[in-house]
Amino acid sequence: MYQANSDRYNTMPYRRCGKSGLVLPPLSLGLWHNFGDVDKLSNGKQMLHTAFDKGITHFDLANNYGPPPGSAESNFGSIFKESFVPYRDELIISTKAGYRMWPGPYGEWGSKKYLVSSLDQSLQRMGLDYVDVFYHHRPDPNTPLEETMAALDLIVRQGKALYVGISNYNAEDTLKASRILKDLGTPCLIHQPRYNMMDRWVEDGLLEVLGDEGIGAIAFSPLQQGILTSKYLKGIPEQSRAAKSTGFLQKETITKAVLAQVTQLNAIAEKRNQSLAQMAVAWLLKDDRITSVLVGVSSESQLLDNLGALDNLEFSASELEAIESVLQS
């Protein structure tokens, strides 16, 4: 029977989520990859145990995580039942809906019909009475924003989620969504954007909106699908995501120019006594508008390496200038 480390809260420096009463660990564990039916359940269990033992209280899912879609939630539910039931009140569990989940016109996007139905299914798969955070996973160009936000408000009032958030919304739509939710009485807690040293779209107004509106931010893909690690320093490994060209990382993405940048960034990281992955995570956390960084790992050792980023979150002006020079080359 799993028993959590009694020292798990002694070293983790939690950060306030926007202007809410909630704090989150600076690193959260994402279950986007490595928790589906194609993966080894015992490995997923070990990573979840290690994360919680180290003070990571936030586990992030979505209805379509797997593969197949839904299997990450089901597998998490099995692990939760076996290991984490006694610790439910110490955990922040989030899930999302927005991408295609089942056939027909009600299986994706942002209608009230889809969002409410999807969360009901997610709760059943995970064996939970409620989630702590429920996100709309992507903007819907065809459903009125008022309907989508009303669905999030309804879900909180039904007791199926404590907080709500949005993901992949641009600055303009984030501001609109935030204002609607405030008027409804269910503030937007958090935004989950893709953000890393090589992918900076959130800097085009979104971070300013989040700061002004008091919304927290949790960055996903902090390592640019593994590019911002030592994995590709000597080319493309046979078993890497780029080699398999599965998902979002294609082999063509790893150009000579990208490899040159990675090599130079790795040299900067070494001078900071960090791995490249650790520096990439620390670079995000230097901004206090970033509440947490969502890491997806395939092993306990990767998780521990990512946690090492928290040992050095400070950057000198010269280090930041050197990083920008590399990224603009």
Domains detected in the chain: 15-224+275-315 (3.20.20.100)
Residue owning tokens 């359940």: 41
Output the six-digit token pair for 141.
């160009």
The DSSP result for 275-314, as a single string, is: -HHHHHHHHHHTSTTEEEEEE--SSHHHHHHHHGGGG---
How many other C-beta atoms lie within 10 A of the C-beta of residue 316? 9
pLDDT attached to residue 137: 98
Tokens read off for 192: 């989950």
What pLDDT sits at residue 237?
A: 62
Per-residue three-class SS string for 171-183: HHHHHHHHHHHHH
Closest CA to 36 of 2, 10, 8, 73: 73
Q: What is the pLDDT of residues 245-287, one digit of tens each?
A: 555 555 667 788 899 999 999 999 999 999 999 999 999 999 9
pLDDT value for 243:
52
The per-residue pLDDT for 234 is 72
Give the pLDDT of residue 267. Answer: 97
Residues of the chain with confidence (pLDDT) below 70 = 235-252
Question: pTM of the predicted model, to two decimals?
Answer: 0.94
Pairing of strands 23-24, 15-16: antiparallel
**What crossing angle do the helices spanning 206-213 and 171-184 adopt, rounded to 10°?**
20
Tell me, what's the pLDDT at 255?
87
The residue written with tokens 């603009």 in the block is 328
pLDDT at 239: 56
Q: Which residues contact 302 (CB under 8 A, 6 or more apart)?
A: 277
